[in-house]
């Protein structure tokens, strides 16, 4: 296939590298003036990987979209709506709707809690059927040949089967995800649980991660069901299956950020972890659907409202006794 990857950061460059590895013709796009693109043009490398010379690098969005059968979008989740509007303003909206779109990002729109595929529908039209590519794994592991399992989720079963066949390899085994709502919410929310895990690490309370995982899944199951999705999806690769990579790995940006918040070094990060935005988006969904999200609310109070992490986490785990099934 002809695949264009829009976004040349850590994950965008990885998706280009991976698509070329499994035999596709690949174009990687970055904005004009992008430091990441300039680095790749100069040396074909970044801090994570080396791109083969067969991958075409460009800052021409028209070229990237018009030459593709499949368009992978890998940018900051909160920038998706404005990015799609820019695309349409350049007259590329129609071309994009005629491509298979894969969203390789995890998040919910801040303020509204809107899912990213819904953002695509709102900006490009209801006929577009975007697919999301989520699940566990770190670029640092993949480029060393360490395999993992991930999930492609969407509403078009035929498209999913085609993409799994074209993109699967011994490095990444794909599963089909037919509950798009649960997959998106679960994938986004695991970053919030990752922030909480990092805070526990910072406090020296890592032994509470077991309770965090058990209760984190329970509150997200309730939310997904209230939204009309399949709560069991939370126990799959998009959420629970991603806990090891997000709650324990030294590469996890959200875990590291949560730990830095406790240690007072969050200002050293060059950008805020996506889980910070997702925590705020989950509060909008909590209110809209009337579902209590105590872990997400605690993280929100700490990272957005500046509440004391020790006091908030102690209060979270010392709440009134309840049945484990609640």
CA distance 52 to 96: 26
| DSSP letter (8 states) at residue 308 | -
Maximum separation of any 2 CA atoms in the chain, in Å: 60
The strand order across the sheet containing 2-6 reads 56-58, 25-29, 2-6, 70-73, 100-103, 131-134, 148-153, 172-177
Annotated catalytic residue 106: no
Classify 290 as helix, strand or coil. Answer: coil
Cβ(191)–Cβ(295) under 8 Å?
no
Token code pair at residue 10: 């850590």
CA distance 86 to 73: 14
Backbone angles phi, psi at 178, to 5 degrees: -100, -5
Backbone angles phi, psi at 267, to 5 degrees: -65, -15
Token code pair at residue 254: 């959200």
CA distance 265 to 269: 8
Options 94, 190, 209, 325, the catalytic residue? 190
Residues whose CB is less than 8 angstroms from the CB of residue 189 and which lie 6 or more positions away in sequence, other chains included: 216, 220, 223, 239, 278, 282, 296
Catalytic residue positions, numbered: 190
């Amino acid at each position: 296939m002809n695949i264009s990857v829009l976004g040349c950061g850590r994950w965008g460059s990885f998706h280009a590298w991976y698509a070329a590895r499994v035999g596709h013709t690949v174009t990687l796009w970055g904005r004009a003036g992008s430091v990441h693109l300039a680095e790749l043009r100069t040396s074909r490398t970044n801090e994570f990987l080396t791109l083969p010379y067969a991958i075409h690098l460009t800052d021409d969005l028209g070229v990237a979209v018009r030459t593709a059968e499949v368009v992978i979008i890998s940018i900051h989740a909160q920038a998706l709506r404005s990015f799609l509007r820019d695309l349409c303003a350049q007259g590329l909206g129609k071309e994009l709707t005629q491509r298979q779109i894969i969203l390789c990002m995890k998040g919910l729109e801040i303020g509204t809690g809107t899912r990213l595929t819904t953002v695509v529908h709102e900006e490009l039209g209801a006929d577009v059927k975007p697919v999301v590519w989520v699940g566990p794994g770190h670029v640092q592991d993949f480029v060393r040949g360490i395999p993992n399992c991930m999930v492609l989720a969407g509403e078009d079963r035929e498209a999913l089967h085609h993409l799994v066949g074209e993109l699967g390899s011994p490095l990444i085994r794909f599963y089909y995800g037919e509950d798009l709502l649960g997959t998106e919410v679960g994938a986004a929310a695991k970053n919030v649980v990752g922030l909480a895990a990092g805070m526990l690490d910072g406090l020296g309370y890592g032994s509470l991660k077991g309770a965090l995982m058990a209760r984190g899944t329970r509150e997200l199951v309730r939310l997904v069901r209230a939204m009309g999705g399949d709560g069991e999806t939370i126990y799959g690769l998009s959420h629970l299956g991603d806990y090891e990579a997000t709650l324990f790995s030294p590469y996890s940006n959200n875990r590291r950020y949560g730990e830095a918040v406790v240690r007072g070094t969050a200002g050293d990060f060059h950008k805020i972890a996506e889980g910070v935005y997702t925590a705020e988006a989950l509060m909008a969904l909590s209110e809209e659907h009337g579902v209590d999200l105590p872990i997400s609310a605690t993280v929100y109070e700490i990272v957005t409202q500046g509440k004391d992490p020790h006091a908030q986490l102690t209060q979270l785990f010392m709440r009134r006794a309840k049945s484990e099934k609640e």
